[in-house]
Chains A and B, each alone.
Chain A
């Protein structure tokens, strides 16, 4: 589903050179639930940005669902983000001026669905995350856990098969966090390919496979990673 080969990404912050991704290779199969685990600054967010087509690598190849990302135009990248990838962010990233329902509808607008179909699918997605009774609430009227569930519903509504979650529990208390993780766990049984980015080992353990990130490099086991 996602195949990254020898990805490099370097940032220049002032005089300093940061190798955010240093020869990173990763292969994620369809319906796999992979956790990417590492301390802050290890390059895991850069990895997610590259996987989510929000950012392009300096070198290396990335093939998503048979499409070579390096070959894509800006318009095609937007289309991939729209149809293939659902994002779940640590800060939820909902639009405050819109109701929960409208937030979930948003990706469907860019997929050019009719208003009727948008509302139907958005309601279905909100039901799926257990917020069918909170559809007209603004994000500011919802708890953190509820906001994150709206964000997940937004990812589900777009019919994307890949869900990229960046520290989805990072801003939540442990109870809401557990609820969100149960929801993500449930989704992994429903034909979604899930990439979960976290620095929390307990959260990561829910995944079928854990990939460790240290200084922009990827490792399959904790021992290898800690040896760096």
Chain B
């Protein structure tokens, strides 16, 4: 144990003695560890925010999308589905991309034309004010329920009920504010479906949410929806019916593959960093051949020399790893502030990256260390 601490002390001293060289050697490891931690953390945070957005809508939700542009289905075609017991509600909707303005502020938004049932079915809650109701649809009122992101962009405040903004040449009055979800609903503006049809100059509706009566009846509801759509379109290629839980699974698969891939790419840069360490350790052995000879002459065993160089390689890689970890934490904190998006450090990735550093230190340090330990004392002493 004493031997170990002596080697450790010696390794730290020799690392500090060549600060610049040590730093450059560690740079490969630092960048490698940083890219592993940052990329995996980013991928994980994105996944979890998307996943929570989807699952907040509920796993008993189906989405219907008509892909054939020549079909002109109207709201009633979809609402027909409500006749089935296993379907609790249907919400046809229409998305219009537009720009909302208020005074000198403006922001790009998705204006969604909705029916009175939409917010219930899509799982949206109000922060304040009221929802879009049937009479809004009947009268084609220019009323709107807006997301918190839109409120912030246009009015820099959440106190927006009764305020007005212009969009697509009309002035809308805000009647409600949606609760913040952290997903894309924050940047949406909900308007009456009939109003949306007027401003987009089209009555065709291509999207709808269908909520099953219970999670057990999702499959039945999906079959009925598909049957109904086939009846309406006469072409099974012109529409799709998604099940949210299926979507969620696909999403999870894609994201975990993605983060594994990103981690793998980052791991390659760690490997390159390891080769840098081996290179420097070989130089160090060559430079210190005489020292090795002296140590051997005064009683150092092969294992002592081996340990000395191995620990030195490990100190370099672990120190690099720790610096990389510190910089990733700092980088993610800065990213959080700048991009206004909470990215939590992915601790599993951090631990794996640090363990990988130890492995790299041992793996790439052992060849130079073995080379040093095998020198015979006179061979080492005679070299200058």
**Which of A's residues lie within 8 Å of B, judged by CB?**
49, 52, 54-55, 74-75, 78-79, 81-83, 87, 89, 93-95, 97, 106-107, 109-112, 114-115, 154, 158
Contact = CB atoms under 8 A, between A and B. Distances in A.
A78 B17 contact: no
Given A78-B296, A82-B298, A110-B300, A55 B17 contact: no
Interface stretch (B67-75, B124-132, B375-383): B375-383
Contacts of B291: 95
Contacts of B228: none
Interface string B284-306: 00000011011111111111100
Given A55-B376, A97-B14, A112 B301 contact: no
B378 A49 contact: yes
Contacts of B2: 109, 112, 114-115
A81 B13 contact: no
Interface in B240-298: 290-291, 293-298
Q: Which 5 A-B pairs have the closest CB atoms?
A: A82-B299, A110-B299, A78-B301, A107-B298, A54-B377
Interface string B362-384: 00000000000000111001000
A21 B79 CA distance: 108
10 contacts: A49-B378, A54-B377, A54-B381, A75-B302, A78-B296, A78-B302, A79-B301, A81-B296, A112-B3, A158-B299
B298 A81 contact: yes
A108 B381 CA distance: 20
Given A87-B298, A93-B293, 8 more contacts: A55-B377, A74-B301, A82-B299, A97-B14, A106-B295, A106-B298, A109-B3, A154-B298
B378 A78 contact: no
A79 B299 contact: yes
B297 A81 contact: yes
Contacts of B342: none
Nearest to A55: B378
A124 B148 CA distance: 78
B6 interface: yes
Contacts of B378: 49, 54-55
Contact of A110 (B13, B290, B298, B381): B298
A109 B6 CA distance: 8
Contacts of B17: 97
Contacts, number: 67
Contacts of B14: 97
B302 A83 contact: no
A93 B296 contact: no
A117 B350 CA distance: 42
Nearest to A95: B291
Contacts of A115: 2
A109 B294 CA distance: 14
A203 B378 CA distance: 25
A154 to B, nearest CB: 7
Contacts of A54: 296-297, 376-378, 381
A19 B28 CA distance: 51
A55 B291 CA distance: 17
Given A97-B14, A97-B17, A109-B3, A78 B381 contact: no
Contacts of A111: 299
Given A93-B381, A114-B2, A75 B301 contact: yes
A107 B299 contact: yes
A93 B3 contact: no
Given A81-B297, A93-B294, A95-B291, A110 B304 contact: yes
B302 A74 contact: yes
Nearest to B291: A95
Contacts of A112: 2-3
A105 B228 CA distance: 90
Nearest to A105: B6
Contacts of B6: 109
A95 B381 CA distance: 12
Contacts of A114: 2
- Among A78, A87, A94, max chain B CB count under 10 A is at A78
Nearest to B300: A110
Contacts of B298: 81-82, 87, 106-107, 110, 154, 158
A120 B303 CA distance: 26
